Amino acid sequence: MRYAIGFFAAIALFAMAGLIVIYTGAYNVAATEPHAKISRWALDTTFHNSVSARSDDEAAQLELIEAADLRTGFQEFQEYCVHCHGAPGVEPAGWVSGMTPHPPELSRVADEWSPDEIFWIVKHGVKMSGMPPFGDTESDEAIRNIAAFVNRLDDMTPQQYRRLQQRWGGGEGHHGGSGSHSQAQDAQ
Ligand code: HEC
């Protein structure tokens, strides 16, 4: 019984501390301040578990992602993703350095996610992080191509990425056209 009282008192205190932080503005939302370790942990863990629980719905996408068009995926990636995430050997746009959380360079984190999880993240975005959803403007097919390419980014070297830019960077026939190319060039 004593333990139960202690337990509920602790929860009540915790809830009160939470409300005080929420109402007094004690928490600094400035993106120029890094996240406190505990909120970073809470956000990261929530993010990973949430995507993992929900991407099961996209399991049917896996086979389609394996068969997706990497060249188009690369071109879409250059057009929609490089200014935030950069790429091996390619810096993101200057204003991105102030973003909290910072969009990671995806060749370093691609192995943390399965292709259907990448598909889910790109389609739905990530709340409170600055990762936008592309599902409203891009077809599932386009997102599959992007997910397939991001999956291939795992451990890609700057030399390998540059070779892709030389081979595929022009984007002939692609609606992004030279725009996507010059964006990656600008970011370099
Ligand atoms: C406006 C900037 C922005 C754009 C554009 C953007 N992202 Fe993101 N993305 C983010 C941020 C910020 C995160 C970090 C989320 C976090 O860690 O909480 C993120 C996270 C991710 C992650 C999870 C990585 C990880 O382990 O944290 C993937 C995968 C991803 N983005 C893929 C993409 C792809 C593919 C595109 C292009 C279709 C894209 N993003 C476009 C900002 C952006």
pLDDT digits (tens, 9 = 90+) for 107-138: 999 999 999 999 999 999 998 889 999 999 99
Pocket perturbation via mutation, ligand 1, pick of 120, 131, 141 by most ligand atoms within 8 A of CB: 131
Confidence of residue 104 (pLDDT cuts 50, 70, 90): very high
Span 151-171, pLDDT tens digits: 999 999 999 999 999 999 854
CA of 52 to the centre of ligand 1 (A): 16
The tens digit of pLDDT for each residue in 16-74 reads: 998 998 899 988 888 888 888 988 899 899 999 999 999 877 777 888 999 999 999 99
Q: Average pLDDT of the chain?
A: 87
**Exposure letters 23-54 (e unless 16+ CB within 10 A, then b):** eeeeeeeeeeeeeeeeeeeebeeebeeebeee
Q: Among 49, 79, 80, 85, which is best to mutate for testing ligand 1, by the most ligand atoms less than 8 A from CB? A: 85
Q: Which atom of ligand 1 is nearest to the CA of 118?
A: 29
Give the binding-site residues of ligand 1, using a 6 Å CB cut-off.
43, 47, 80-81, 84-85, 99, 101, 103-104, 106, 109, 112-113, 118, 121-122, 126, 129-132, 134, 146, 150
Distance (angstroms) between ligand 1 centre and the Cα of 89 equals 18
C-alpha span between 107 and 86 (Å, rounded): 10
Q: Give yes or no for residue 174 having a pLDDT over 60.
A: no
* Cα gap 178→158, rounded to integer Å: 21
pLDDT of residue 170: 53
What is the rounded distance in angstroms from the CA atom of residue 53 to the CA atom of residue 157? Answer: 31
